[in-house]
């Protein structure tokens, strides 16, 4: 039971971190679009970011409920996001932008590794889905 409690704390921590990153990203990237483009681009980006946040929240909900497909999908998306974040760092000219993408990329990659390798996360997700220990 202790393994399940630890897994629950880890999963909740990952969910909170990912939602915070999304919430910070929306105004930050909107500002960048606003200073570099038209209002049409800003509105388009806000709509895309809101849809992305909604879809991510749905996937994270199913992750918390113990669905393996949601875990696998999140791992794939986190690894892709982490990789592209690291690529963006090499092409960015804004120092603050580089720091943000480095932090975001590291959080994404570490979260993917934890979701994949942690026995406590695996136990928690199994318990959430099936209602009992393995």
What are the pLDDT digits (tens) for 42-84? 888 888 889 999 999 999 999 999 999 999 999 999 999 999 9
Predicted model pTM: 0.86
pLDDT tens digits for 100-110?
Answer: 888 899 999 99
Q: How far is CA 104 from the centre of its chain?
A: 9
Neighbouring residues of 100: CB distance < 8 A, sequence distance ≥ 6: 24, 28
Tell me the C-alpha distance between 44 and 42, whole Å.
5
Tell me the C-alpha distance between 115 and 122, whole Å.
8
Neighbouring residues of 26: CB distance < 8 A, sequence distance ≥ 6: 46, 49, 50, 53
């Amino acid at each position: 039971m202790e393994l399940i409690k630890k897994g629950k704390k880890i999963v909740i921590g990952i969910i909170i971190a990912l939602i915070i990153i999304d919430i910070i990203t929306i105004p930050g990237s909107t500002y960048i679009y606003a200073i570099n483009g038209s209002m049409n681009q800003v509105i388009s980006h806000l709509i895309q970011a809101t849809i992305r946040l909604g879809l991510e929240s749905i996937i994270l909900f199913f992750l918390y409920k113990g669905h393996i497909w949601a875990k696998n999908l999140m791992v794939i998306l986190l690894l892709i996001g982490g990789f592209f974040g690291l690529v963006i760092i090499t092409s960015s000219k804004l120092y603050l932008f580089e720091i943000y993408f480095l932090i975001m990329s590291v959080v994404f990659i570490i979260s993917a590794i934890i979701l994949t390798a942690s026995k406590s996360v695996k136990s928690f997700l199994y318990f959430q889905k099936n209602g009992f220990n393995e």
